[in-house]
């Protein structure tokens, strides 16, 4: 299913993560995102363990290296049977093509591969003054997304507010995976450009990545259900 709510499991260790997932026993198994902190802390076994519990997994490691290194690393990640992985689009088309090659299993199947265009923590000023990119942020995002499409990737991570820009540059089937989600009646935390699950759906997000609105909720299962009700098409 190419539309879903992905819970960002930003926990420091295996025990906390599994205790959180235990709450969903008996209900729909959520699609979960495992990031650098948990993967580097708990190792690849945490991926195998969560997979064995029946969850789909987005392994958010944002690879960025020379093509050969990325290809070989992707081969290892693909063998972990994850469902979605990502790279930085700034690694350019040859690196993204190599990532895709490494991910493709002997039987032709592979996880979804998406690209980070520009980190949302990068401001327009940093883009120009530190990274020396003279194009605008939107032009950079649209071009990086188009490069990802040319390399054969499935989509990009972006703000829900950028989904239309990406779909315009890459077509309606190119996936947008969007964090920065908050319920209408909740705190923004450290996120700046936020939208509700319902608004993200209207703006064309294919997957929303939701962390604290679910993980820090008094009732995470109810918060997850609310996201599904608002978002899933």
Q: Which residues are catalytic?
A: 62
Are the CB atoms for 8 and 33 separated by under 8 Å? yes
Residue number with CB closer to ligand C5P (121 or 134)? 121
Candidates 112, 137, 210, 223; binder of ligand C5P (CB under 6 A) is 210
In sequence order, the 6+-apart residues with CB closer than 8 A to the CB of 39 are 46, 47, 59, 61
Phi-psi region at 44: left, alpha or beta (left = phi > 0; alpha = psi -120 to 50): alpha
Q: Does 122 bind ligand C5P (CB under 6 A)?
A: no
Q: Which residue has tokens 């979605």?
A: 84
Do residues 181 and 195 touch, judged by C-beta distance below 8 A? Answer: yes
Contact indicator for 220, 5 with CB cutoff of 8 Å? no
Cα separation values, 60 from 103, 155, 191, 231, Å: 14, 14, 18, 21
Of 80-88, 92-100, 133-141, 177-185, the window that binds ligand C5P (rule: CB under 6 A) is 177-185
Segment contacting ligand C5P by CB under 6 A, of 43-51, 102-110, 165-173, 209-217? 209-217
Residues 68-107, mask of contacts with ligand C5P (x by CB under 6 A): ----------------------------------------
- Taking the complex as a whole, the smallest distance from the CB of residue 214 to ligand C5P amounts, in Å, to 8
Judged by CB under 6 A, the number of residues near ligand C5P is 16
Contact by Cβ (8 Å): 107, 77: no
Among 176, 211, 227, 231, binds ligand C5P (CB under 6 A): 211
Give the N- to C-terminal CA distance of the chain in Å, as an integer: 10
Q: How far is the CB of 209 from ligand C5P (least distance, A)?
A: 5
Pattern 9-28, binding to ligand C5P, x per CB under 6 A?
-x------------------
Distance CA 179, CA 232 (A): 15
- Closest distance of CB 107 from ligand C5P, Å: 31
- Residue 57 as a binder of ligand C5P (CB under 6 A): the answer is no
SS3 181: strand
Q: Which residue is nearest to ligand C5P (CB)?
A: 211
Binding site for ligand C5P (CB under 6 A): 8, 10, 35, 119-120, 157, 179-181, 189, 191, 209-213
């Amino acid at each position: 299913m190419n539309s879903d709510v992905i819970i960002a499991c930003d926990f420091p260790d295996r025990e906390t993560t599994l205790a959180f997932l235990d709450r969903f026993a008996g209900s729909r198994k959520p699609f979960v995102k495992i990031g650098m902190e948990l993967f580097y802390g708990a190792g690849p076994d945490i991926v195998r363990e969560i997979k064995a519990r029946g969850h789909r997994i987005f392994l958010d490691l944002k690879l960025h290296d020379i093509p050969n290194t990325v290809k070989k690393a992707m081969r290892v990640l693909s063998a972990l049977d994850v469902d979605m992985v990502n790279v930085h689009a700034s690694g350019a088309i040859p690196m993204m093509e190599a990532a895709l090659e490494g991910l493709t299993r002997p039987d032709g199947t592979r996880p979804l591969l998406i690209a980070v265009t520009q980190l949302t923590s990068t401001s327009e000023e940093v883009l120009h003054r530190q990274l020396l990119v003279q194009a605008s942020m939107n032009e950079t995002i649209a071009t990086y997304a188009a490069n990802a499409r040319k390399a054969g990737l499935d989509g990009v991570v972006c703000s829900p507010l950028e989904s239309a820009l990406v779909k315009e540059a890459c077509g309606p089937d190119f996936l947008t995976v969007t964090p920065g989600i908050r319920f209408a009646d909740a705190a923004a935390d450290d996120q700046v450009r936020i939208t509700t699950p319902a608004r993200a759906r209207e703006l064309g997000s294919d997957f929303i990545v939701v962390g604290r609105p679910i993980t820090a909720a008094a009732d995470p299962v109810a918060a997850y259900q609310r996201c599904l009700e608002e978002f899933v098409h």
